[in-house]
Amino acid sequence: MMPKEKLPIVVDLEMSGLNPNENGIWQIGAVDLNNPEKIFFEESSIDDDEKVDEESLKIIGKTEEQLRNSRKQSQREMVEKFMQWIELRPLRNLLCQNPQFDAGFLAEKARKYGIKKTFHYRSFDLHSIAQTIYHMIKGKFSTHEHNSSMNLKSILEFCGVPDLRMQMMDGKVVQEGNPHNALEDAKLTGECFYRLLYGKNLFPEYSKYKIPHYLEVNKK
């Protein structure tokens, strides 16, 4: 049973690099957590003036030619469709692992094309939610050296879901696995959000992974 409260839109992007002023978005995946059957999943060709980083190609398992495929819709068309899709949602706040990154990328492309930005300027941050729940259970934050160690891989582990995606660090593959996909990553984010807040499974494909006991305690 879904919660009666309004829930955010979980969003993930796949880009040709990490700089919104230089790189493009080629894939958007989103799920309306109020009705998980309502998804947005589209691909596009990045703009001619946008750069492609080699590390990004490794992460997504694509070639530069595939990201510049002129037979696909334009990036502008994809972003426009996404903004229209958001207008139909009951809550227009985004939920991301790194909202300043994904929401920032979308905002920059909307500005570039003169498209109305239909999502709210405030976003839900999965990282902060996970750290809060972790602190409630462990009595401390999850850190490594001088930084938070709660990346999506760590959050998935905390929530009892294995991370089967390829992992890279400093340009090197540190874990072989599936190429990153915007809809899959959006679903992983949504699944963690649901387990952290409600102690329940959300998507059928992750039901085989047992929810840790510490997330079920005191959850209704």
Which residues are within 8 A (CB) of 4 and not within 5 positions of it... i.e. 6 or more apart? none
Own/partner pairs, 43-49, CB within 8 angstroms, 24+ separation:
43/72, 43/73, 43/78, 44/72, 44/73, 44/74, 44/75, 44/77, 44/78, 45/69, 45/70, 45/71, 45/72, 45/73, 45/74, 45/75, 46/16, 46/75, 47/74, 47/75
Domain CATH code at residue 117: 3.30.420.10
Query: pTM for the whole thing?
Result: 0.93
pLDDT tens per residue across span 68-77: 999 999 999 9
Q: Residue 132 domain-assigned?
A: yes
Residue 220 pLDDT more than 80?
A: no
Half-sphere exposure of 65 (CA within 13 A, CB side): 0
Q: Residue 2 domain-assigned?
A: no
Buried b (16+ CB within 10 A) or exposed e, 172-211: eeeeeeeebbbbbbbbbbbbbbbbbebbbbbeeebeeeeb
Q: Residue 3 domain-assigned?
A: no
Q: Residue 44 domain-assigned?
A: yes
What's the N-to-C CA distance of the chain in angstroms?
A: 11
Residue 11 pLDDT more than 70?
A: yes
Longest C-alpha distance within the chain, in Å?
A: 53
pLDDT at 166: 73
Q: DSSP E strands: which ranges in the chain? A: 9-15, 25-32, 39-43, 94-96, 124-125, 143-144, 147-148, 167-169, 172-175
Q: Residue 4 domain-assigned?
A: no
Question: Structurally, how many domains does the chain consist of?
Answer: 1
pLDDT tens per residue across span 124-166: 999 999 999 999 999 999 999 999 999 999 999 999 999 998 7
Domain interval for residue 89: 9-216
